[in-house]
Amino acid sequence: MNTSATWNLRTQNMAGMTDKIVMNLSMLLAWTAAFYSKLLGEEVTPRQTLHALHAQLAFFVAGFSSCGLSVRLLLMAWLGIALLKCKAAFRTSD
């Protein structure tokens, strides 16, 4: 096998792996959106789910990190922005 054919084969394998990863993440996101929908009693879109997950991540990182004051202030700003974006995402669904 020449190097060009080997390169094409590797590229195709990576593209297939990427497609599988994207498909699995999409399925996980759909499952999480369905879970949030049941939990909240209203339809939750994948976009809203991503905003909620972002806000949860910001909360846990800001709340459970032990760092200096300046870093903690930045984390709290990140949390505030994430919460505002999450609120806006759920407000636009009305």
pLDDT value of position 16? 78
Number of H helices and number of E strands within the chain? 3, 0
Report d(CA 81, CA 52) in Å as an integer: 12
pLDDT value of position 54? 96
DSSP code of residue 92: T
Residue type (1 letter), 45:
T
Torsion of CA 71, 62, 49, 86, to 10 degrees: -70
Report d(CA 46, CA 85) in Å as an integer: 14
Residue ranges in the chain whose pLDDT is less than 70: 1-10, 93-94
0.85 surpassed by pTM: no
Taking the CB of residue 62, how many other CB atoms lie within 10 A of it? 20
Range of the domain at 45: 3-91
Tally of structural domains, the chain: 1
